[in-house]
Amino acid sequence: MSLTPTQVRAAQAIVNIFETGSVRGNYGSVTVMAGDTGHLTYGRSQTTLASGNLNTLLAAYCGNAGARFGVRLRSWLPRVAQRDQALDTETKLHNVLRACADDPVMRDTQDRFFDTTYWQPAATAAAQLGLSTALGVAVAYDSHVHGSWALIRDRTNAAVGQPAHAGEQAWVKTYVQQRKQWLATNDNQLLRTTVYRMEAFERLIAQGLWGLPLPIVVRGLEIDMTTLQGTPAGCYDGPQPGTRSLALDTPMARGLDVRLLQLGLSDQGMSVVADGVFGRTSARLVQDYQAAHGLPATGVADAALLSRLIGVV
């Protein structure tokens, strides 16, 4: 049985939630965790520096003539290709990666990359094994992203036999149990903290949601047609720089112009996270920049200052 496009998106959304806490996935997510052998990780489904997959993704993006941040990112590619672990602390690179999420070209590149690298192999492996339900394929996809699919598959086969013998639902339930135990007792402390992934699958299994009918709730987030079609978390398509002045306000200003301002401040060597939110740190850094360059230290970024810091991107 072939999955419908909606079932595919629902299955992918479950793993997006596991990876970045967002139904659509956080395309600009930059993560470095102590003890993580993958080192710098990035994107909707968190591809890693150490695996070499981050280089594949970024090279594909930079190879697109329409990539808005291709010029900025291209200078980092040799070090990414070398899997330079010092990139874990290169905050300028991290900010460029965050900004890339605002570019539809990067979002499309990530979608193609993660589908080719993880979804298609998972769907093929599930089909070869005889798994046909949306939930069963989602479990296989999660393990392809998270790792050790073959190990737990073989343990499950040893415990209950192939799905054709045990029945798909019984096999998947056993697989989830086997993987939960493996995660909970793993020597890697980071993997132990991810048992929640199997607990989420256990809840879906207990509810009998084998077809992943919408809406469903995973880790407190609702997956439905609205959330599947919404703007991805942390992505900004506007406002364009210069269309407004940026100042500390309530609610805080958010958007593409804020992100690009923060990227400009980062280029100046200032310590800022380019999250697209104009908060106290951004206002203070704007004020510091103004004072250092003989400008009125207002902390307000008007069109002239935005043009000066952002340039052409």
Cα–Cα distance measured from residue 151 to residue 143, given in angstroms and rounded to the nearest whole number: 10
Q: What's the pLDDT score for residue 1?
A: 56
Q: Is the pLDDT of residue 110 over 60?
A: yes
pLDDT at 37: 87
Model confidence over 164-195: pLDDT tens digits?
Answer: 999 999 999 999 999 999 999 999 999 999 99
Q: Taking the chain, what is the end-to-end CA distance rounded to the nearest angstrom?
A: 46
Where b means 16+ CB within 10 Å and e means fewer, 34-65 reads eebebbbbbbbbbbbbebebbbbbbebbbeee
Q: Tell me the percentage of the chain whose pLDDT exceeds 70.
A: 99
**CB within 8 A of 288, min separation 6: which ones?**
270, 297
Percent of the chain with pLDDT over 90: 92
Residue 104 has pLDDT above 60, yes or no: yes
pLDDT, position 46: 87
Q: Report the pLDDT averaged over residues 19-33.
A: 92
Please give the average per-residue pLDDT across 247-263, as a whole number: 96
DSSP state of 254: E
Bridge partners of 222, per DSSP, are 217
Q: For the chain, give the mean pLDDT.
A: 95
Report CA dihedral (22, 12, 70, 101) to the nearest 10 degrees: -10
Q: What are the tokens at 45?
A: 């489904």
Nearest by Cα to 71 from 113, 100, 28? 100
What contacts 15, CB < 8 A, 6 or more positions away? 45, 138, 141, 142, 145
User: At 312, is the pLDDT very low, low, confident or very high (cuts 50, 70, 90)?
Assistant: very low
193-202, pLDDT tens digit by residue? Answer: 999 999 999 9
pLDDT band at 34 (very low <50, low <70, confident <90, very high): confident
pLDDT beyond 70 at 251? yes
| pLDDT surpasses 60 at 87 | yes
Determine the average pLDDT of the residues in 124-147. 97
Residue 117 has pLDDT above 70, yes or no: yes
Q: What is the pLDDT of residue 313?
A: 42
Fill in the DSSP letter of residue 240: P
pLDDT digits (tens, 9 = 90+) for 39-67: 999 998 889 999 999 999 999 999 999 99
Q: Is the peptide bond before 215 cis (omega within 30 degrees of 0)?
A: yes
Query: Looking at the predicted structure, is the pLDDT value of residue 210 above 80?
Result: yes
Q: How far apart are CA 281 and CA 270, in angstroms?
A: 10
| Count of alpha carbons within 13 angstroms of residue 35, beta-carbon side | 7
29 closest CA partner among 11, 12, 54, 50: 54
Q: Taking the domain 253-310, which CATH number applies?
A: 1.10.101
Confidence of residue 36 (pLDDT cuts 50, 70, 90): confident
**32 with 49: CB under 8 angstroms?**
no
